[in-house]
Amino acid sequence: MVMRKLVQLRRKKMTASEAARKMGVSRQMVYNVEVSYQGDPSTKTMERYAKAIGAKILVVDGDKL
């Protein structure tokens, strides 16, 4: 779910090539991360991706809201 939202945000802001350049990886690597987001990418990968697209991942305990 988190990665799906990140991909949607990236598509509004920049191309996969731009995200790849900011992450320091190939466009193919960004593509691989995006198409396999249902494969539960690591937290570190999601954090790098989020930073590259100018987003932040915020974890909120639903019981506290």
| Domain hosting residue 19, numbered range | 2-54
CA dist., res. 40 & res. 26, Å (int): 20
Taking the model in full, what pTM does it have?
A: 0.80
Domain count of the fold of the chain? 1
**Residue 2 pLDDT greater than 90, yes or no:** no
Mean pLDDT of 42-53: 91
Helix (H, G, I), strand (E, B) or coil at 24: coil
Position 63 in a domain: no
Q: Judge whether 7 and 37 are in contact, CB under 8 Å.
A: yes
Position 62 in a domain: no
Closest C-alpha among 12, 65, 3, 55 to residue 34: 3
Position 34 in a domain: yes
Mean pLDDT of 18-35: 92
Position 37 in a domain: yes
CA dist., res. 2 & res. 46, Å (int): 8
Position 59 in a domain: no
